[in-house]
A = this chain, B = another copy of it.
Amino acid sequence: MITASILTIGDELLIGQVIDTNSAFIAENLNLQGVSVKRILSVSDSIEEIISGLNICSDSQIIISTGGLGPTRDDITKDAMCKYFNTKLVRNNEVLKNIENLLNNRGIQNLNENNRKQSDVPESATVLENNNGTAPGLLFEKNDSVFVFLPGVPNEMKALVTKKVIPIINVKFRNQAVVHRTIHTFGSFEAILAETLDDWVTNLPENIKPAFLPSAGLIRIRLTGIGSDKAELEHLIDVEVEKLFDIIPDIIFSTKGENLEEVVGKLLLEKKLTLATAESCTGGSIASIITSIPGSSSYYKGSIVAYSNDVKTNLLKVNSNDIENHGAVSEIVVKQMAENVKTLLNTDYGVASSGIAGPDGGTANKPVGTIWIAVAGPKQTVCKQYSFGKQREFNIRRSVLTALNLLREMLVNN
């Protein structure tokens, strides 16, 4: 099987200022081509460390590097390339023309020397044109390995991987079939799920490997098959997924790798239903995740983010006596929020959240992490109380997913 290493370059990664999201994108796309990623390595903007990183990665047939190609002085990846591949920088007129066009389109007529310097490329490199930015991709071959250097700006890197790098890899290497399938579940604990599925795991075919990936109530079960025959692998995995549906039918919400927001969106679209939300503690995050899906305007009409109590009473028409007597974090309030937003925005479903995300605002009766979620549908309103944890970010995230899952359950059953 063809193996790859990913090398990301930048001091910002090593001081923890920036999270490396490029590697996951590259790894996913290599994997889909049947290329096995052996390692992901991040090193600093230092010629010595970059060369040491290239040496470590050179046991792979494909090495993809990102970062350090910008116009500023801390970007020294091209100098490291020259040293590693024993070549020198020369000005490339096609790259220069591309930079001129790009900056002209952005309203910049006169290039400065920093812009021009981005058209200096190592003499022995093949240039991969970058249509979205000024730093081109660069490709080298050495000892049967292919080394590709890409800019670190995510949208530039992504376009270059998809349009240039993957086609080159497909021509150059013939690969073994790899099939991944991810079953998404919501609402169990990892150790409990592991016990429930113990026999199933034991009896998996030898070339199908499982993994369990937990995150804020979501547990993804990933099956990976490796072999010569893709269709056979797909079939073997189909059979195992069927078995899962017999063991844990209630908690599976997708076998196609879809997120909760995609599944909910598809259900609403299929059933021609509409949705509105009324958010307190989640502060717009439910709306934000729903509208992250392209085309969500077909089923999602909007949200009232009622962060303050007077927005709850004035705009959402929640009874102010109920807020006074029971508090904003209560069943009676969250129920009215869901039902009233459904009426006000004239939708089939209304979803509401009210809780104490923290770090402050908790009391003895209602500690930080107390969250009410309500879903109002055509026939009934369901309200549930949860106790999550002490961390604001986690509480918001978990509330959003719980609300989506409660809506999903109602959509499936109604």
- Which A residues have a C-beta under 8 Å from some C-beta of B? 11-21, 23-31, 36-45, 49, 53, 56, 70-74, 103, 106, 108, 112-115, 118, 134, 153, 155, 180, 182, 189-192, 194-195, 198, 201, 209-215, 220, 222, 224, 277, 279, 282-288, 290-292, 294-297, 300-308, 310-311, 314-315, 344-346, 358-360, 389, 391-394, 396
Scoring A24, A29, A56, A389 by chain B CB atoms within 10 A of each residue's CB, the highest score goes to A24
Q: A288 with B297: in contact, given A72-B194, A73-B210 (CB under 8 Å)?
A: no
Oligomer copy total: 2
Known: A114-B191, A314-B346. 8 other contacts (CB 8 A): A11-B211, A70-B212, A71-B194, A72-B210, A74-B212, A288-B288, A301-B310, A310-B346
**Complex CA–CA separation, A212 to B70 (angstroms):** 9
**Complex CA–CA separation, A285 to B287 (angstroms):** 8
Residues of B within 8 A of A182 (CB): 17
Are A38 and B29 interface neighbours, CB within 8 A?
no
Cβ-defined partner of A195 (8 Å) among B13, B30, B40, B112? B112
Residues of B within 8 A of A118 (CB): 191
Are B24 and A13 interface neighbours, CB within 8 A?
yes
Residue pairs across A and B with Cβ atoms less than 8 A apart, 25 shown, are A11-B209, A14-B37, A14-B38, A14-B40, A15-B28, A15-B180, A16-B30, A17-B182, A18-B213, A19-B21, A19-B23, A39-B43, A70-B214, A72-B194, A279-B284, A283-B288, A283-B290, A284-B285, A284-B290, A284-B291, A291-B307, A295-B360, A302-B306, A303-B305, A310-B346
